[in-house]
Structure 1
């Protein structure tokens, strides 16, 4: 895979890397719609488990034409760090799906996408050269303010009696998502090939998610509606396969905190996808929210002075 510009671990992202992370954020935003559509055909945790199974089968096929290798994964500590990342990966989805069921979607998204703050704090303490500067902290705050504005209408909607528990579970899910990213940068996984980093997470998470599904009371049913199956295949092949492979490739080369900040765009793209594909209404302050997110990301990605 060609390198779209290379930065030092904690340096500003080059234009090529920004272009790739923008594309990934758009793909992940569309995935928010795909999860809704696929849920009509299969329960969410079962969906996540089957997604990991199919993606694990597809990743080696994707790597071959790209010239990517699984690398020397027998290096000390790499396999165990990969297994730990896979367990965290599975727990993240379990907590998130339980949390979304207890709170509103808007609140769940806002708490989940607190993840860039956790990444910034984790890399500040554990990854040399990826420090939390004042500009980065200010940029994260402004971008997150834009996210709050984008979901303002949903946040004002009444929430159920279990909303606080759901909020905390979504917050924990975001923290685990961040923990996976920090672990890749701060553990022996930083020496591993991106293909291995993804594959081990898929292989470890698949049985854990499939086991969790019946334990959470999900019925193992699959309704073969074409739209639901198509949405599921999008999640497995495009998101969990190709896009996650590109994500870990970026993380191996660039600042994790700067990359994670761009994930705030994912729910913004998700709102746009919902409006275009599902006819959902855009909030009154959506355009201003996009402007705030853009300003925040510009501040995050400014070169350190």
Structure 2
């Protein structure tokens, strides 16, 4: 019997937790390599490597790249949104700090909820589900409360860039779900985004004045392999399969877990401190996700 995909089932929840934990660890992987490879260039290298992997995979699976399925324009739009998101994230971090960026970037689920309500039939949130999203976002505010100081003019510029990145992130999800991309093989959806970003991100790195690769140490190579093979290839394909299969307005709140997993990974691998605020935030995010996805 075909499973009910109008709500998030246990299988999807388990996959989402794995994805968010992987993306949180990815933040640590970027930090680990940033002294030798600047962040936008890292993202470009990741996209180039994952593009090659996806081409090989689709060849093995005998999936056509040239099939006329009406997705080319939508795929290019998603690729541009995907690229703009990462450029704004890393450019914005030059003006604001990482904690503030986490808060503004995690407004993305609200963009997804609004876009789903406007453009996707039968996807809307009830009042209790909206309360759940607000509660989950409040958890992010609790976890990163120390960054909620009055910003200077430079920080405001960075904050605006991160909010722009959140809009592009959310818009990418909505475009995929609301367009013909929702009906094609998830690998092809990812290939559009990886291929476009593989061209744009290295150019953006040069435009932003990032230095070239300084060294390829075992740590840097391990970081790039993790970012390319696991994050950009396996987890992104899984994410796009989830977008195609389940309501995006119910998937999006799970991404609130990503920065919290990032803090936990930083504590585990980099010796950073875990505070009572983080534990409270995890409880709030978990409660918010429950409210959004309760039957």
**Class of the TM-score when normalised by the shorter of the 2 chains:** over 0.9
| Counterpart Cα distance in 2 of 1:23 and 1:68 | 28
Of 139, 142, 148 in structure 2, the residue corresponding to residue 149 of structure 1 is: 142
Partners in 1 of 2:62 and 2:104 — Cα distance? Answer: 35
2:182 counterpart of 1:187: no
CA offset digits 1:34-64 (Å, max 9, x no partner): 1111212211111111110000111244557
- For residues 147-194 of structure 1, the C-alpha deviation after alignment (integer angstroms, 9 at most, x for no partner) is 1111123435x8554101101100110110011100001112112210
Q: Secondary structure at the match of 2:199?
A: helix
Q: Which of 64, 69, 78 matches 1:75?
A: 69
Q: TM-score, normalised by structure 2?
A: 0.95
- Pair 62,27 (structure 1): closer, same or farther in 2 beyond 3 Å: farther
The residue aligned with 1:172 is: 164
C-alpha contact (below 8 Å) 1:62/1:242 kept by paired residues: no
Distance 2:67 2:286 in 1: 38
Alignment of 1:21-32 (within 5 A): 21-32=16-27
Distance 1:281 1:161 in 2: 30
Q: Residue 212 of structure 1 corresponds to which residue in structure 2? A: 204
CA separation in 2, counterparts of 1:92 and 1:225? 28
**Cross-structure match for 2:47:** 52
Equivalent position of 2:4 in the other structure: 7
Say whether 1:243 aligns with 2:235: yes
What SS does the aligned partner of 2:43 have?
A: helix
C-alpha spacing 1:37/1:70, structure 2 compared with 1 (3 Å):
farther
Distance, in Å, in 2 between the alignment partners of 1:200 and 1:170 is 23
- Where in structure 2 are there 5+ consecutive unaligned residues? none
Q: Distance in 2 between matches of 1:73 and 1:64?
A: 14
Provide the aligned length of Structure 1 versus Structure 2. Answer: 295
Distance 2:67 2:4 in 1: 24
Q: CA RMSD in A?
A: 1.9
* Cα displacement string for residues 199-219 of structure 1 (whole angstroms, at most 9, x for unaligned residues): 111011111111111111112
Residues 221-273 of structure 1 show CA distances to partners (whole Å, capped at 9, x for unaligned) of 24112112211211111101100010001111001111111000000100100
Q: Specify whether residues 243 and 216 from structure 1 end up closer, same or farther in structure 2 by C-alpha distance, changes over 3 A only.
A: same
Q: Does 1:260 align with 2:255?
A: no
Is the contact made by 1:30 and 1:273 (CA closer than 8 Å) also made in structure 2? yes
2: CA distance, partners of 1:74 / 1:107? 43
Q: Aligned to 2:93, what secondary structure does the other structure show?
A: helix
Normalized against structure 1, the TM-score is what? 0.92
Structure 2 residue 225 is the aligned partner of structure 1 residue 233: yes
Name the stretch that deviates more: 132-141 or 215-224.
215-224
